[in-house]
Amino acid sequence: MPEEVTLTIDGKKITAKIGQSILEAAEENGVYIPHLCALQELHSTGACRVCMVRIDGRYSASCTQPVSDGLQVEVESDELLEIRKMIVEMLFAEGNHFCPCCEKSGNCELQALAYRLGIDSVRFPYQFPQREVDAEHPDVFIDHNRCILCGRCVEASRNADHKTALEFIGRGKNKRLAVTGIVDLDRADKAVSVCPVGAILLKRQAFQVPLGQRRFDHEPIGAEVESRNPEVRTP
Amino acid sequence: MTTAVKPRIATVSLAGCFGCHMSLLDIDERLLDLVEIVDFDRSPIDDIKTFTHRCAIGLVEGGCANDENVHVLEEFRENCDILVSIGECARTGGIPALRNSIPLAECLDEAYRSGPTVYNPTGTLPTDEELPLLLNRVVPCHEVVRIDYHVMGCPPSAETLWQVLTALLSNEKVQLPYELIKYD
Protein backbone atom coordinates (compact mmCIF):
# COMPACT_ATOMS: atom_id res chain seq x y z
CA MET A 1 0.00 0.00 0.00
CA PRO A 2 1.37 3.44 -0.86
CA GLU A 3 2.41 5.72 1.96
CA GLU A 4 0.97 8.80 0.33
CA VAL A 5 -2.32 9.76 -1.26
CA THR A 6 -3.38 12.65 -3.45
CA LEU A 7 -6.51 14.64 -2.79
CA THR A 8 -7.94 17.92 -3.93
CA ILE A 9 -8.70 20.85 -1.65
CA ASP A 10 -10.69 23.62 -3.31
CA GLY A 11 -9.46 22.49 -6.69
CA LYS A 12 -5.80 22.31 -5.68
CA LYS A 13 -4.03 18.94 -5.60
CA ILE A 14 -2.17 18.11 -2.40
CA THR A 15 -0.36 15.03 -1.16
CA ALA A 16 -1.00 13.65 2.29
CA LYS A 17 0.28 10.80 4.40
CA ILE A 18 -2.01 7.89 5.08
CA GLY A 19 -3.41 8.13 8.58
CA GLN A 20 -3.58 11.92 8.56
CA SER A 21 -6.89 13.67 8.95
CA ILE A 22 -8.05 16.06 6.25
CA LEU A 23 -7.51 18.90 8.71
CA GLU A 24 -3.89 17.90 9.32
CA ALA A 25 -3.19 17.42 5.62
CA ALA A 26 -4.71 20.80 4.81
CA GLU A 27 -2.67 22.54 7.50
CA GLU A 28 0.54 20.94 6.29
CA ASN A 29 -0.23 22.39 2.88
CA GLY A 30 -0.92 25.86 4.20
CA VAL A 31 -4.71 25.66 4.05
CA TYR A 32 -6.31 26.76 7.29
CA ILE A 33 -9.59 25.10 8.22
CA PRO A 34 -11.16 26.89 11.19
CA HIS A 35 -11.51 24.59 14.21
CA LEU A 36 -11.91 24.81 17.97
CA CYS A 37 -11.62 21.36 19.47
CA ALA A 38 -8.95 19.70 17.31
CA LEU A 39 -5.39 20.07 18.54
CA GLN A 40 -2.45 18.43 16.85
CA GLU A 41 -1.11 16.57 19.86
CA LEU A 42 -4.53 15.31 20.96
CA HIS A 43 -6.89 12.71 19.60
CA SER A 44 -9.62 14.50 17.59
CA THR A 45 -13.17 13.92 18.75
CA GLY A 46 -15.07 16.06 16.24
CA ALA A 47 -16.92 17.79 19.06
CA CYS A 48 -17.16 21.39 17.88
CA ARG A 49 -18.08 20.83 14.19
CA VAL A 50 -16.44 24.13 13.22
CA CYS A 51 -14.02 22.33 10.89
CA MET A 52 -16.92 21.19 8.71
CA VAL A 53 -15.98 20.74 5.06
CA ARG A 54 -17.62 19.03 2.08
CA ILE A 55 -15.95 15.81 1.05
CA ASP A 56 -17.16 14.50 -2.29
CA GLY A 57 -20.31 16.52 -1.66
CA ARG A 58 -20.93 15.25 1.87
CA TYR A 59 -20.59 17.34 5.01
CA SER A 60 -18.06 16.05 7.44
CA ALA A 61 -15.81 17.22 10.26
CA SER A 62 -12.36 17.41 8.69
CA CYS A 63 -10.56 16.66 11.97
CA THR A 64 -11.95 13.14 12.23
CA GLN A 65 -12.10 12.27 8.54
CA PRO A 66 -8.97 10.45 7.36
CA VAL A 67 -7.45 11.27 3.98
CA SER A 68 -7.88 8.87 1.12
CA ASP A 69 -6.90 8.90 -2.50
CA GLY A 70 -8.86 11.10 -4.90
CA LEU A 71 -11.07 12.90 -2.35
CA GLN A 72 -12.52 16.21 -3.50
CA VAL A 73 -12.58 18.51 -0.47
CA GLU A 74 -14.34 21.85 -0.42
CA VAL A 75 -13.19 24.22 2.35
CA GLU A 76 -13.92 27.76 1.26
CA SER A 77 -17.42 28.30 -0.02
CA ASP A 78 -20.09 30.82 0.94
CA GLU A 79 -22.22 27.99 2.27
CA LEU A 80 -19.48 26.48 4.45
CA LEU A 81 -18.49 29.91 5.73
CA GLU A 82 -22.10 30.48 6.72
CA ILE A 83 -22.25 27.11 8.50
CA ARG A 84 -19.07 27.89 10.44
CA LYS A 85 -20.34 31.33 11.37
CA MET A 86 -23.58 29.84 12.58
CA ILE A 87 -21.83 27.25 14.75
CA VAL A 88 -19.59 29.88 16.35
CA GLU A 89 -22.58 32.20 16.89
CA MET A 90 -24.43 29.35 18.58
CA LEU A 91 -21.50 28.88 20.95
CA PHE A 92 -21.64 32.57 21.84
CA ALA A 93 -25.40 32.48 22.36
CA GLU A 94 -25.32 29.26 24.38
CA GLY A 95 -22.83 30.24 27.08
CA ASN A 96 -21.99 33.42 28.95
CA HIS A 97 -19.15 34.94 26.98
CA PHE A 98 -18.46 38.42 28.31
CA CYS A 99 -15.29 39.27 26.42
CA PRO A 100 -14.69 42.69 28.03
CA CYS A 101 -14.24 41.12 31.47
CA CYS A 102 -12.60 37.85 30.50
CA GLU A 103 -8.91 37.43 31.17
CA LYS A 104 -8.59 35.13 28.15
CA SER A 105 -9.68 37.92 25.81
CA GLY A 106 -7.09 38.45 23.09
CA ASN A 107 -5.76 34.92 23.58
CA CYS A 108 -9.10 33.17 23.13
CA GLU A 109 -9.56 30.93 20.12
CA LEU A 110 -13.36 31.28 20.11
CA GLN A 111 -13.05 35.07 20.03
CA ALA A 112 -10.30 34.94 17.40
CA LEU A 113 -12.45 32.70 15.21
CA ALA A 114 -15.33 35.13 15.51
CA TYR A 115 -12.99 37.93 14.41
CA ARG A 116 -11.78 35.89 11.50
CA LEU A 117 -15.25 34.83 10.41
CA GLY A 118 -16.45 38.44 10.60
CA ILE A 119 -19.11 37.91 13.26
CA ASP A 120 -20.35 41.34 14.32
CA SER A 121 -23.60 40.19 15.90
CA VAL A 122 -25.14 36.90 16.95
CA ARG A 123 -28.32 35.95 15.11
CA PHE A 124 -29.55 33.64 17.88
CA PRO A 125 -31.05 34.97 21.11
CA TYR A 126 -28.54 34.88 23.96
CA GLN A 127 -29.49 32.20 26.46
CA PHE A 128 -27.69 33.59 29.53
CA PRO A 129 -27.68 30.22 31.29
CA GLN A 130 -27.07 29.98 35.02
CA ARG A 131 -23.67 28.38 35.46
CA GLU A 132 -21.10 28.11 38.22
CA VAL A 133 -17.52 29.17 38.71
CA ASP A 134 -15.50 26.47 40.45
CA ALA A 135 -12.65 28.14 42.32
CA GLU A 136 -11.99 25.34 44.79
CA HIS A 137 -8.67 24.21 43.34
CA PRO A 138 -5.69 26.13 44.78
CA ASP A 139 -4.22 26.91 41.36
CA VAL A 140 -6.98 26.48 38.78
CA PHE A 141 -10.30 28.18 38.04
CA ILE A 142 -12.99 26.29 36.16
CA ASP A 143 -15.52 28.78 34.81
CA HIS A 144 -18.46 26.85 33.36
CA ASN A 145 -19.90 30.07 31.92
CA ARG A 146 -17.23 30.08 29.24
CA CYS A 147 -16.96 26.36 28.58
CA ILE A 148 -17.82 25.36 25.00
CA LEU A 149 -17.63 21.60 25.73
CA CYS A 150 -14.91 21.08 23.15
CA GLY A 151 -13.48 18.23 25.20
CA ARG A 152 -9.82 19.18 24.81
CA CYS A 153 -9.22 19.11 28.56
CA VAL A 154 -11.03 15.79 29.00
CA GLU A 155 -9.01 14.30 26.17
CA ALA A 156 -5.74 15.74 27.47
CA SER A 157 -6.37 14.61 31.02
CA ARG A 158 -7.14 11.10 29.86
CA ASN A 159 -4.55 10.54 27.16
CA ALA A 160 -1.76 13.04 27.78
CA ASP A 161 -1.77 13.40 31.58
CA HIS A 162 -3.02 9.79 32.04
CA LYS A 163 -5.19 10.95 34.91
CA THR A 164 -8.88 11.29 34.06
CA ALA A 165 -9.10 14.30 36.34
CA LEU A 166 -11.87 15.80 34.19
CA GLU A 167 -14.91 14.26 32.54
CA PHE A 168 -18.22 15.31 31.06
CA ILE A 169 -21.43 14.66 32.94
CA GLY A 170 -25.06 15.17 31.87
CA ARG A 171 -26.53 15.16 28.40
CA GLY A 172 -27.83 17.67 25.90
CA LYS A 173 -28.03 21.17 27.28
CA ASN A 174 -27.21 19.83 30.74
CA LYS A 175 -23.86 18.49 29.64
CA ARG A 176 -21.02 20.04 31.56
CA LEU A 177 -17.46 19.57 32.59
CA ALA A 178 -16.89 17.90 35.95
CA VAL A 179 -13.94 17.23 38.20
CA THR A 180 -13.86 13.48 38.79
CA GLY A 181 -12.09 13.72 42.12
CA ILE A 182 -10.30 10.45 41.43
CA VAL A 183 -7.01 12.25 40.97
CA ASP A 184 -6.04 15.86 41.48
CA LEU A 185 -5.63 18.25 38.64
CA ASP A 186 -2.16 19.75 38.71
CA ARG A 187 -1.32 23.24 37.53
CA ALA A 188 1.25 21.77 35.12
CA ASP A 189 -1.27 19.37 33.55
CA LYS A 190 -1.84 19.50 29.84
CA ALA A 191 -5.56 19.54 30.59
CA VAL A 192 -5.11 22.99 32.13
CA SER A 193 -3.22 24.54 29.24
CA VAL A 194 -5.26 23.32 26.24
CA CYS A 195 -8.50 25.21 26.92
CA PRO A 196 -9.27 27.32 23.83
CA VAL A 197 -11.44 29.71 25.85
CA GLY A 198 -11.32 31.08 29.38
CA ALA A 199 -13.02 28.11 31.01
CA ILE A 200 -9.89 26.65 32.62
CA LEU A 201 -7.46 29.25 33.85
CA LEU A 202 -4.47 29.31 36.11
CA LYS A 203 -5.01 31.54 39.09
CA ARG A 204 -2.88 34.63 39.66
CA GLN A 205 -1.98 34.96 35.98
CA ALA A 206 -4.67 37.36 34.83
CA PHE A 207 -3.90 40.21 32.45
CA GLN A 208 -0.15 39.68 32.58
CA VAL A 209 0.23 40.18 28.85
CA PRO A 210 -0.53 43.81 27.98
CA LEU A 211 -2.99 44.80 25.24
CA GLY A 212 -1.29 44.81 21.88
CA GLN A 213 0.93 41.83 22.76
CA ARG A 214 -1.71 39.14 23.07
CA ARG A 215 -1.84 36.12 20.80
CA PHE A 216 -4.46 37.41 18.36
CA ASP A 217 -3.93 41.16 18.64
CA HIS A 218 -2.20 41.60 15.29
CA GLU A 219 -2.59 38.37 13.34
CA PRO A 220 -5.83 36.46 12.79
CA ILE A 221 -6.09 32.88 13.95
CA GLY A 222 -4.78 30.57 11.24
CA ALA A 223 -2.31 33.13 9.87
CA GLU A 224 0.62 30.93 10.95
CA VAL A 225 -0.82 28.01 8.98
CA GLU A 226 -1.40 30.15 5.91
CA SER A 227 2.10 31.57 6.07
CA ARG A 228 3.25 28.11 4.93
CA ASN A 229 1.45 28.69 1.66
CA PRO A 230 2.37 31.88 -0.21
CA GLU A 231 -0.64 31.50 -2.53
CA VAL A 232 -3.16 32.00 0.25
CA ARG A 233 -3.69 35.50 1.51
CA THR A 234 -4.97 35.94 5.05
CA PRO A 235 -8.16 38.00 5.09
CA MET B 1 -21.71 81.12 1.57
CA THR B 2 -23.88 78.16 0.73
CA THR B 3 -25.76 76.54 3.52
CA ALA B 4 -25.93 72.96 2.35
CA VAL B 5 -27.92 70.81 4.72
CA LYS B 6 -25.54 68.69 6.73
CA PRO B 7 -26.44 65.12 7.65
CA ARG B 8 -27.53 64.85 11.26
CA ILE B 9 -26.24 62.42 13.86
CA ALA B 10 -28.04 61.38 17.03
CA THR B 11 -26.35 59.48 19.83
CA VAL B 12 -27.55 57.92 23.07
CA SER B 13 -26.28 55.84 25.93
CA LEU B 14 -28.85 53.28 27.09
CA ALA B 15 -27.64 50.62 29.55
CA GLY B 16 -24.03 51.62 28.97
CA CYS B 17 -21.32 53.42 30.91
CA PHE B 18 -20.74 56.34 28.51
CA GLY B 19 -17.38 54.80 27.71
CA CYS B 20 -18.30 54.62 24.02
CA HIS B 21 -19.20 58.31 24.07
CA MET B 22 -15.86 59.04 25.74
CA SER B 23 -14.23 57.10 22.94
CA LEU B 24 -16.07 59.26 20.41
CA LEU B 25 -14.71 62.36 22.12
CA ASP B 26 -11.32 60.69 21.94
CA ILE B 27 -11.15 61.36 18.19
CA ASP B 28 -9.63 64.61 19.48
CA GLU B 29 -9.11 67.35 16.91
CA ARG B 30 -11.03 65.34 14.34
CA LEU B 31 -14.13 66.44 16.27
CA LEU B 32 -13.66 69.78 14.50
CA ASP B 33 -13.64 68.00 11.13
CA LEU B 34 -16.71 66.05 12.19
CA VAL B 35 -18.80 69.09 13.09
CA GLU B 36 -17.87 70.60 9.73
CA ILE B 37 -19.64 67.77 7.93
CA VAL B 38 -22.43 66.81 10.35
CA ASP B 39 -24.82 68.39 12.82
CA PHE B 40 -25.55 66.69 16.10
CA ASP B 41 -29.22 66.24 16.87
CA ARG B 42 -30.46 64.46 19.99
CA SER B 43 -27.27 63.57 21.87
CA PRO B 44 -25.58 63.98 25.25
CA ILE B 45 -22.81 65.76 23.34
CA ASP B 46 -24.98 68.85 22.73
CA ASP B 47 -27.54 68.02 25.43
CA ILE B 48 -30.51 68.03 23.03
CA LYS B 49 -33.08 65.78 24.70
CA THR B 50 -35.56 65.10 21.88
CA PHE B 51 -35.25 64.64 18.14
CA THR B 52 -35.53 67.92 16.24
CA HIS B 53 -35.10 66.49 12.72
CA ARG B 54 -34.81 63.18 11.00
CA CYS B 55 -31.24 61.89 11.35
CA ALA B 56 -28.98 60.16 8.88
CA ILE B 57 -27.15 58.16 11.53
CA GLY B 58 -28.07 57.07 15.03
CA LEU B 59 -25.36 55.74 17.33
CA VAL B 60 -26.62 53.62 20.20
CA GLU B 61 -24.42 52.75 23.14
CA GLY B 62 -25.63 50.19 25.66
CA GLY B 63 -28.27 47.49 25.58
CA CYS B 64 -31.79 47.59 26.98
CA ALA B 65 -32.11 47.07 30.73
CA ASN B 66 -35.43 48.84 31.34
CA ASP B 67 -38.59 49.96 29.56
CA GLU B 68 -37.26 53.45 28.96
CA ASN B 69 -34.25 52.02 27.12
CA VAL B 70 -36.63 50.10 24.85
CA HIS B 71 -38.75 53.20 24.26
CA VAL B 72 -35.72 55.36 23.39
CA LEU B 73 -34.28 52.68 21.14
CA GLU B 74 -37.57 52.42 19.23
CA GLU B 75 -37.59 56.21 18.90
CA PHE B 76 -34.06 56.05 17.46
CA ARG B 77 -35.12 53.41 14.97
CA GLU B 78 -38.05 55.59 13.86
CA ASN B 79 -35.97 58.73 13.49
CA CYS B 80 -32.68 57.47 12.04
CA ASP B 81 -31.96 56.17 8.54
CA ILE B 82 -28.99 54.11 9.67
CA LEU B 83 -28.93 52.74 13.19
CA VAL B 84 -25.57 51.60 14.55
CA SER B 85 -25.04 49.71 17.79
CA ILE B 86 -21.80 50.84 19.36
CA GLY B 87 -19.83 48.69 21.77
CA GLU B 88 -20.30 45.40 23.54
CA CYS B 89 -23.31 46.34 25.68
CA ALA B 90 -25.34 47.38 22.64
CA ARG B 91 -24.09 44.39 20.66
CA THR B 92 -24.33 41.63 23.29
CA GLY B 93 -25.89 43.08 26.44
CA GLY B 94 -22.41 43.40 27.92
CA ILE B 95 -21.60 43.95 31.58
CA PRO B 96 -25.20 44.90 32.58
CA ALA B 97 -26.26 41.50 31.19
CA LEU B 98 -24.15 39.78 33.86
CA ARG B 99 -27.31 39.96 35.96
CA ASN B 100 -29.24 37.91 33.42
CA SER B 101 -28.55 34.53 34.93
CA ILE B 102 -29.81 35.74 38.32
CA PRO B 103 -33.57 36.26 38.78
CA LEU B 104 -34.50 39.96 38.90
CA ALA B 105 -36.06 39.67 42.37
CA GLU B 106 -32.78 38.33 43.74
CA CYS B 107 -30.83 41.17 42.10
CA LEU B 108 -33.13 43.80 43.64
CA ASP B 109 -32.97 42.08 47.00
CA GLU B 110 -29.17 42.06 46.94
CA ALA B 111 -29.01 45.70 45.85
CA TYR B 112 -31.62 47.20 48.18
CA ARG B 113 -32.09 44.83 51.11
CA SER B 114 -29.53 42.17 51.87
CA GLY B 115 -26.32 43.48 50.32
CA PRO B 116 -23.44 43.79 52.84
CA THR B 117 -23.34 47.60 52.70
CA VAL B 118 -27.08 48.26 52.42
CA TYR B 119 -28.89 50.26 55.12
CA ASN B 120 -32.61 49.99 54.45
CA PRO B 121 -34.51 49.28 57.69
CA THR B 122 -37.95 49.43 56.05
CA GLY B 123 -36.85 47.07 53.29
CA THR B 124 -38.67 49.05 50.60
CA LEU B 125 -37.68 48.73 46.98
CA PRO B 126 -37.64 51.81 44.71
CA THR B 127 -41.19 52.13 43.40
CA ASP B 128 -41.45 55.76 42.26
CA GLU B 129 -43.45 55.79 39.05
CA GLU B 130 -40.89 58.13 37.49
CA LEU B 131 -38.38 55.30 37.60
CA PRO B 132 -38.26 53.07 34.54
CA LEU B 133 -39.21 49.46 35.15
CA LEU B 134 -36.39 46.98 34.88
CA LEU B 135 -36.66 44.28 32.24
CA ASN B 136 -36.33 40.69 33.41
CA ARG B 137 -33.23 40.43 31.27
CA VAL B 138 -30.85 42.91 29.71
CA VAL B 139 -31.05 42.45 25.94
CA PRO B 140 -28.79 43.60 23.11
CA CYS B 141 -30.25 46.25 20.79
CA HIS B 142 -30.66 43.95 17.81
CA GLU B 143 -33.06 41.78 19.81
CA VAL B 144 -35.36 44.84 20.11
CA VAL B 145 -35.15 46.71 16.79
CA ARG B 146 -33.40 46.20 13.46
CA ILE B 147 -29.79 47.36 13.66
CA ASP B 148 -27.93 48.18 10.45
CA TYR B 149 -24.34 48.05 11.68
CA HIS B 150 -22.60 46.70 14.75
CA VAL B 151 -19.37 48.25 15.98
CA MET B 152 -17.40 45.99 18.30
CA GLY B 153 -15.18 46.97 21.18
CA CYS B 154 -15.34 47.85 24.85
CA PRO B 155 -15.21 50.63 23.96
CA PRO B 156 -14.58 50.73 20.22
CA SER B 157 -11.40 52.76 19.81
CA ALA B 158 -11.60 56.35 18.63
CA GLU B 159 -9.99 55.21 15.38
CA THR B 160 -12.67 52.55 14.90
CA LEU B 161 -15.49 55.04 15.46
CA TRP B 162 -13.85 57.55 13.16
CA GLN B 163 -13.42 55.01 10.37
CA VAL B 164 -17.01 53.78 10.73
CA LEU B 165 -18.46 57.31 10.77
CA THR B 166 -16.44 58.57 7.82
CA ALA B 167 -17.28 55.45 5.80
CA LEU B 168 -20.99 55.79 6.52
CA LEU B 169 -21.01 59.53 5.80
CA SER B 170 -19.28 59.04 2.47
CA ASN B 171 -21.51 56.11 1.50
CA GLU B 172 -18.62 53.70 1.50
CA LYS B 173 -18.48 50.14 2.75
CA VAL B 174 -17.36 49.86 6.36
CA GLN B 175 -14.21 47.76 6.22
CA LEU B 176 -12.18 47.78 9.39
CA PRO B 177 -8.60 46.50 9.41
CA TYR B 178 -8.08 43.34 11.50
CA GLU B 179 -6.38 45.18 14.33
CA LEU B 180 -9.44 47.34 14.98
CA ILE B 181 -11.75 44.34 15.30
CA LYS B 182 -11.94 43.70 19.05
CA TYR B 183 -14.56 42.43 21.44
CA ASP B 184 -12.76 44.07 24.36
Domains and CATH numbers, chain B: 8-99+137-176 (3.40.50.700)
Digit-coded pLDDT (tens) for A77-130: 999 999 999 999 999 999 999 999 999 999 999 999 999 999 999 999 999 999
What is the overall mean pLDDT for chain A? 94
Q: Chain A residues within 8 A (CB-CB) of chain B?
A: 92, 96-102, 105-106, 111, 114-115, 120-122, 125-126, 128-131, 217-220, 235
A172 and A114 in a common domain = yes
A19 found inside a domain: yes
Interchain CB contacts (distance < 8 Å): A and B: 67
Q: Are A1 and A8 in contact (CB under 8 A)?
A: no
CA A135 to chain centre: 24
Give the model's pLDDT for residue A205: 93
Residue A191 confidence class, pLDDT cut points 50, 70, 90 = very high
A235 found inside a domain: no
Determine the Cα–Cα distance for residues B159 and A123; give it in Å rounded to an integer.
Answer: 27
pLDDT at A231 exceeding the cut of 80? no
A196: preceding bond cis by omega (within 30 degrees): no
Chain B CA closest to residue A218: B179
Q: Are A190 and A88 in contact (CB under 8 A)?
A: no
Pairing of strands B55-61, A12-17: unpaired
Measure B61 CA to nearest chain A CA, in Å.
Answer: 15
Identify all chain A residues contacting B147, using CB atoms and an 8 Å cutoff: 121
A114 and A27 in a common domain = no
Over residues A164-171, the mean pLDDT reads: 95
A193 and A109 in a common domain = yes
Identify all chain A residues contacting B91, using CB atoms and an 8 Å cutoff: 120-121
Selecting from B95, B147, B181 the residue whose C-beta is nearest the C-beta of A98 gives B95
A207 found inside a domain: no
Selecting from A92, A115, A121 the residue whose C-beta is nearest the C-beta of B150 gives A121
Identify all chain A residues contacting B167, using CB atoms and an 8 Å cutoff: none
A103 and A80 in a common domain = no
A210 found inside a domain: no
A191 and A143 in a common domain = yes
A160 and A79 in a common domain = no
Digit-coded pLDDT (tens) for A192-202: 999 999 999 99
Residue A183 confidence class, pLDDT cut points 50, 70, 90 = confident
- Identify the segments of chain B with pLDDT beneath 50: none
Determine the Cα–Cα distance for residues A105 and A96; give it in Å rounded to an integer.
Answer: 13
A164 and A75 in a common domain = no
Q: Which residues make beta-bridge pairs with A178?
A: A167
Give how far Cα B126 sits from Cα of A90, A205, B12, B112, Å: 37, 40, 25, 8
pLDDT at A64 exceeding the cut of 60? yes
Determine the Cα–Cα distance for residues B88 and A197; give it in Å rounded to an integer.
Answer: 18
Domain CATH number, residue A115 = 3.30.70.20
Specify the number of domains making up chain A. 2
Give the model's pLDDT for residue B166: 96
A135 and A43 in a common domain = no
Alpha helices (H) along B45-99: 67-79, 87-92
Give the model's pLDDT for residue A1: 60
pLDDT at A208 exceeding the cut of 60? yes
A118 found inside a domain: yes
Q: Which residues make beta-bridge pairs with B80?
A: B55
Structural domain for A154, as ranges: 98-202
Identify all chain A residues contacting B151, using CB atoms and an 8 Å cutoff: 120
Residue A132 confidence class, pLDDT cut points 50, 70, 90 = very high
pTM confidence score: 0.94
A22 and A69 in a common domain = yes
A188 and A105 in a common domain = yes
A141 and A68 in a common domain = no
A107 and A71 in a common domain = no
A54 found inside a domain: yes
A145 found inside a domain: yes
